[in-house]
Structures are given as C-alpha cells and as structure tokens.
Amino acid sequence: MSERFASGQNALAECDVCGFQYRLRQLKPLVIKAVVTGIKACPECWNPDQPQLMLGTFPVNDPQAIRDPRPDFTGYPESRARLQPADPIFAFGHVGEVSIVLTTTLTVTVATGTNVYGTGNKFYIDGVVSPTLTLFEGNTYKFDQSDGTNGPHPLRFSITPNGTWGGGVEYTTGVTTNGAPGNPGAYTQIVVAAGAPTLHYYCTAHSGMGGQANTPT
C-alpha cells in the first residue's frame, strides 16, 4: 500500500535557518554547490546558490602568460629615449640589404626642478627632469622644442658636462636645428654617429639645465 500525505495547504512549519514560523509551502530548500540540501528556508533566509563556491569545481582554460611580451619601460627615465611603439620606422637599401633607421621624437619643456647642477630652470624630457638618456648609434632623435616654455633655451650637445658652461664646446656631428625654441616647429635633431662619445645636452643661454646622454651601439 503506497504512502499518502496530506496536501499541507495550510500547514505551518519553522524555517531551518531563523526558526520563525511560516506556512510550509513558503519554505524552499537551500542549494549549495549545485546540491539540493535538506535545509528549508523562509523567503527572508533563502538565497540562490553562490557561483563563487563553484570555483575549482570545473576546469577553466584561462591562461595569464603572454607569448613574447613587450614590457613597459616607461617607469625608467632613461628609457624614454628608446624606441616607442608610435615611432616611425624607415627601411631603405639595395635588394638583399635593408637598413633600419629609427626616429624618436622627444618632447622638451622647461620648468623649475632639481638635477645634478642644483635647483632652477631645467630641461624636462617627456616630463622627466634632466633624465639620463640612451641614444643608440645610427638612430635619429628629434628634441621637439615647440612648447612655449623653451624660449629662450636652445638645447645643444657637448662631450663636456654642462657644455660650454663647463668649459667644453658644442658637439655638432649629425646635429641639425630648426626654428627658435618656444615656437611651432622648433627642434634640435641628432643622428647618432657610429662611435659617438657620451654626450651631454645643455642650454646655450643658461647653465645647469641639462643632463647626460649615453650612446651605446
């Protein structure tokens, strides 16, 4: 003989969570990790199954490593003179022989700051006060002096720290200039020659504004 149960239409029951009394039909079983438990909860205590509890239950193909990555060097001031993703790359030469010429544009501004020469007006290269630059042989570097703060602060190169202010002379190999600093289109550009010495950039009008530029191969 099969078991028979009353409909329970008006039956009362206690919530297994809070203990308060509700109609039996209002209680719902709790589901934990996709398993229906024997715990019945009232509308106030019942919650849907929490997806976070399922972490690790199913295999997930979500690799984090990147093949052949290109790390960001922008945290290092000297890296600002390295090739940036937006820099143009020019290729030329004979059949079977290709030469790559890299052109990097560096933004020059002038503001008060402190460098190895003390505190005062300093050259800021891409927002960094008088950084040590890395200028690779054979590459072209354009120092954009069109910002209004550059006038009158012509940027030039020397093999002597602080340039002519340190008793040195201007270095001109591969160097070209255009316009007056502080005006649109003004720049100083250098194509780093093979075997170029360690350089120092400086202001021809004021002492102590620049820094060093290393020239590795």
Residue 48 resides in a domain: yes
Residue 68 resides in a domain: no
Shared domain check, 109 and 19: no
Shared domain check, 163 and 98: yes
Residue 182 resides in a domain: yes
Shared domain check, 88 and 49: no
Residue 6 resides in a domain: no
Domain tally, the chain: 2
Residue 151 resides in a domain: yes
pTM of the entire structure? 0.56
Shared domain check, 47 and 84: no
Structural domain including 20 reads: 12-53
CB 129 within 8 A of CB 122: yes
pLDDT at position 79 is 45
Shared domain check, 32 and 109: no
Q: What is the full per-residue pLDDT of the chain (217 aa) written as tens digits?
A: 567 878 777 899 998 989 899 988 889 998 888 888 889 999 999 988 888 777 777 777 778 788 877 766 555 454 444 444 445 555 554 455 555 567 899 999 999 999 999 999 999 999 999 999 999 999 999 999 999 999 999 999 999 999 999 999 999 999 999 999 999 999 999 999 999 999 999 999 999 999 999 999 8
Q: What value, to the nearest 5°, has the Cα angle with vertex 209 and ends 165 and 200?
A: 65
Residue 67 resides in a domain: no
Closest residue by Cα to residue 154 from 172, 128, 116, 180:
180
Residue 66 resides in a domain: no
pLDDT at position 181 is 96
Shared domain check, 109 and 194: yes
Closest residue by Cα to residue 140 from 108, 107, 175:
175
Shared domain check, 92 and 32: no
pLDDT at position 100 is 59
Q: Which residue has the tokens 């199913």?
A: 58
pLDDT at position 10 is 82
Residue 62 resides in a domain: no
Shared domain check, 118 and 30: no
* Distance separating alpha carbons of residues 212 and 199, to the nearest angstrom: 6
Residue 128, domain CATH: 2.60.40
Shared domain check, 33 and 127: no
pLDDT at position 134 is 94
Interval 43-87: pLDDT, tens: 999 988 888 777 777 777 778 788 877 766 555 454 444 444 445
In this prediction, what percent of the chain has a pLDDT beyond 90?
A: 58
pLDDT at position 116 is 94
Q: Which residue has the tokens 């200039």?
A: 177
